[in-house]
């Protein structure tokens, strides 16, 4: 059995997605290629990377059946083309509720084979002044438990955006080496809580956290916070992109992971 390398390069793609599916896929493809050229072996796209509608229900006509559709074909092709592990942000998947979709993250291995799926469980709701959001209008909460998959460097936990506020969700994954979080945090909530919550999840789970975000002003008037980031198990920021399209990139350092857990074995000290 081949030895696992100590470093594994990962990247979080940041987009400012529009209402045009073809444009969004093309722009994502360019960024994936750039990140792969920079050495990224695992790449994460943001939530809604394929489409940011003008209203909640605009995404319904784009929903795909599991296993087929242009968005899923794009993701599989990109993983295969670049020989990467690709965490496909989120895309709308069909279910038996005609008025709502699953907001789903699909994971593809370097052969283009889908190896994991997670449907967003926690649905964002926010109401303050002129700013109001209710994801439950068009999204059905996932019925699956927290999902993980095995990458070459270790175990990866899947989460989406608002999940970040629920620490018990991440504990239920068990011990993981990396948490990935595609997101579209609003400017209001992101400026207040994004980095604090991400660093907390990294510190308390003693793992890397890779968060890919929407980052800018969208056609629908919404402004997203951005700050796609890689955070290490001590809570230190490895790389961050504040705003605009691009990516944050860095290494999963298995020696760093081991050293943090050995010097402060909090995971072993848990009593409940």
* Phi and psi, residue 229, nearest 5°: -155, 150
Query: What are the sequence ranges of the domains in the chain?
Result: 8-269
Residues 128-163: tens digit of each pLDDT: 887 888 899 999 999 988 999 999 999 999 999 999
Residues 33-63: tens digit of each pLDDT: 999 999 999 999 999 999 999 988 999 999 9
The pLDDT value given to residue 5: 65
The pLDDT value given to residue 257: 97
| Residue ranges of the chain with per-residue pLDDT less than 50 | 1-3
- Measured distance CA(41)–CA(38) in Å, rounded: 9
- What is the pairing mode between strands 131-134 and 125-128? antiparallel
**CATH superfamily of domain region 8-269:** Carbon-nitrogen hydrolase (3.60.110.10)
Whether the CB-CB separation of 37 and 70 falls below 8 Å is answered with no
- Measured distance CA(116)–CA(89) in Å, rounded: 12
Catalytic sites, residue numbers: 47, 120, 161
Tokens of 62: 């784009």
Tokens of 239: 């790389």
The pLDDT value given to residue 144: 81
Contacts of 264 (CB under 8 A, 6+ apart): 206
Q: Running DSSP on this structure, what letter comes out for residue 259? A: H
Tokens of 151: 């990458």
196 membership: H or E segment, kind and range: helix 187-205
Give Cα 81 distance to the centre of its chain.
21
The pLDDT value given to residue 1: 38
Per DSSP, the residues of 60-103 read GGG-B-TT-SHHHHHHHHHHHHHT-EEE---EEE--S-TT-BEE
């Amino acid at each position: 059995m081949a030895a696992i390398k100590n470093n594994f390069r990962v990247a979080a793609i940041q987009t400012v997605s529009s209402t045009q599916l073809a444009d969004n896929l093309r722009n994502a493809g360019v960024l994936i290629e750039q990140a792969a050229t920079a050495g990224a072996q695992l790449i994460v796209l943001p939530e809604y990377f394929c489409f940011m509608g003008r209203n909640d229900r605009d995404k319904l006509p784009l929903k795909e059946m599991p296993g087929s559709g242009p968005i899923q074909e794009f993701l599989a092709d990109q993983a295969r083309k670049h020989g990467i592990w690709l965490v496909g942000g989120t895309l709308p998947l069909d279910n038996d509720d005609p008025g709502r979709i699953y907001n789903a993250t699909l994971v593809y291995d370097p052969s283009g084979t889908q190896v994991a799926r997670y449907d967003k469980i926690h649905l964002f709701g926010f109401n303050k002044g002129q700013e109001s959001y209710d994801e439950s209008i068009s999204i059905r909460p996932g019925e699956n438990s927290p999902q993980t998959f095995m990458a070459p460097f270790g175990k990866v936990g899947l989460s989406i955006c608002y999940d970040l506020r629920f620490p018990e969700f991440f504990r239920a994954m068990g011990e993981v080496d990396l948490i990935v979080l595609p997101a579209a945090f609003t400017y209001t909530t992101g400026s207040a809580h994004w980095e604090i919550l991400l660093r907390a999840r990294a510190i308390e789970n003693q793992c890397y956290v890779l968060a890919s975000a929407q980052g800018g002003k969208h056609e629908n008037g919404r402004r997203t916070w951005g700050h796609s980031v890689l955070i290490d198990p001590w809570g230190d920021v490895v790389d961050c992109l504040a705003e605009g399209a691009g990516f944050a990139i860095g290494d999963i350092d298995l020696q760093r992971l081991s050293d943090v857990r050995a010097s402060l074995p909090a995971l072993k000290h848990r009593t409940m």
